[in-house]
Amino acid sequence: MLASLDASLARLGTDHVDLWLAHTWSDDVPLAETLDALVTAVRTGRARYAGISNYAGWQAARVATLAEAQGAGLIVANQVEYSLLSRGVEDDVVPAALGLGLGLMAWSPLGRGVLTGKYRTGTPADSRAASPHFATFVERYLDEDSRRVVEAVVAAADGLGCSPAEIALAWVRDQPGVVAPVVGARTAAPCAARSPARTSSLPEQIRAALDEVSVGLR
């Protein structure tokens, strides 16, 4: 892990990153070993803070508790998939984060691109769903349940005069524990256009409608 971090720092031309995440839980590596790498990175100045990614609630509790016992309360975030199409983290990950004081970073807050509405009439040739490598990644959110959510998001966007992406991002941004939606984009322009900062808090009736149509989605 540390060798990989050092290689990344060299490529980036910097001596530290603000936040370094252990990307996923591993049953093949002792948790103490993973934590030791995170602690070492922070104590040597290669990372200002450390976090975890895709950890279940109990896994986050274990690493945070172990870090605190070592006097290194440096685990500050858990990055997990969270969107109107993926709300399973509300069962245990969100309560764990709130209890442990971890910030939630929501990856794929646009439902792997589906919540932008671009798949409503088919699969664009330049989309991830049209790529052999990413097709199965997107297809799980192209079912009928997801379609109902997308249509609700589009209706909300039409009513508020903004884009579906802004609605989806505003929803996840304002969920308990979320500190940042993590959006992937190929250029800077889509990031600016989809910034949830452009959208104030959603009206309560719209939020309630979106909650109702998406409840139970995993």
The percentage of residues in the chain with a pLDDT greater than 70, rounded to a whole number, is: 92
- Mean pLDDT (the chain, rounded): 91
Residue 157: pLDDT above 60? yes
pLDDT of residue 187: 58
DSSP code at position 128: G
pLDDT tens-place string over residues 173-182: 999 999 999 9
pLDDT tens-place string over residues 201-212: 899 999 999 999
pLDDT of residue 158: 96
Residue 166: pLDDT above 80? yes
Q: How far apart are CA 178 and CA 170, in angstroms?
A: 11
Residue 190: pLDDT above 80? no
User: Sorting pLDDT into bands at 50, 70 and 90, what band is 122?
Assistant: confident
Q: Which element (helix H / strand E) includes 181?
A: strand 178-182
Q: How far apart are CA 84 and CA 141, in angstroms?
A: 11
pLDDT of residue 124: 80
pTM given for the model: 0.91
Q: Cβ distance 58 to 141 under 8 Å? A: no
pLDDT tens-place string over residues 15-69: 999 999 999 999 999 999 999 999 999 999 999 999 999 999 999 999 998 988 8
pLDDT tens-place string over residues 56-70: 999 999 999 898 887
Q: Cβ distance 107 to 185 under 8 Å? A: no
CB-based burial of residue 71 (10 Å sphere; 0-12 exposed, 13-18 middle, 19+ buried)?
exposed
User: Sorting pLDDT into bands at 50, 70 and 90, what band is 130?
Assistant: confident
